């Protein structure tokens, strides 16, 4: 599921290939984009590739152990995420 806000995309549950085009378009037009993966438990590889290509800030890391162990090591060498346990605030923008 994909929720797009002014500066934050919230990816939760399963993010499917059908949502990727909208996600990429949003990433293209959103400067300093942030992505919240906290409740994501399945990320289509095309969505993952979009994250790798655009390098948005990961504002909340996945709680799902498998996704976190597969995704975060690939992103960490590039310092593209800054989430900690405290970084699980509500990333939904008011506008």
Give residue limits of the domains in the chain: 2-78
In degrees to the nearest 10, what's the CA dihedral of 30, 43, 83, 74?
A: -100
CA distance 2 to 15: 7
16: pLDDT confidence band, cut at 50, 70 and 90?
very high
Per-residue pLDDT of 61-94, as tens digits, reads 999 999 999 988 988 765 444 444 444 445 555 4
Per-residue pLDDT of 57-70, as tens digits, reads 999 999 999 999 99
Q: Contact 42/70 with Cβ under 8 angstroms?
A: no
pTM (2 d.p.): 0.78
Pairing of β 2-4 and β 13-15: unpaired
DSSP 8-state secondary structure symbol assigned to residue 76: G
């Amino acid at each position: 599921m994909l929720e797009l806000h002014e500066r934050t995309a919230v990816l939760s549950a399963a993010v499917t290939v059908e949502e990727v085009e909208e996600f990429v378009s949003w990433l293209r037009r959103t400067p300093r984009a942030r992505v919240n993966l906290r409740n994501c438990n399945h990320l289509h590889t095309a969505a993952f590739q979009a994250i790798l290509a655009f390098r948005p800030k990961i504002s909340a890391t996945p709680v799902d152990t498998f996704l976190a162990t597969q995704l975060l090591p690939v992103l960490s060498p590039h310092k593209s995420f800054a989430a900690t346990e405290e970084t699980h605030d509500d990333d939904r923008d008011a506008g």
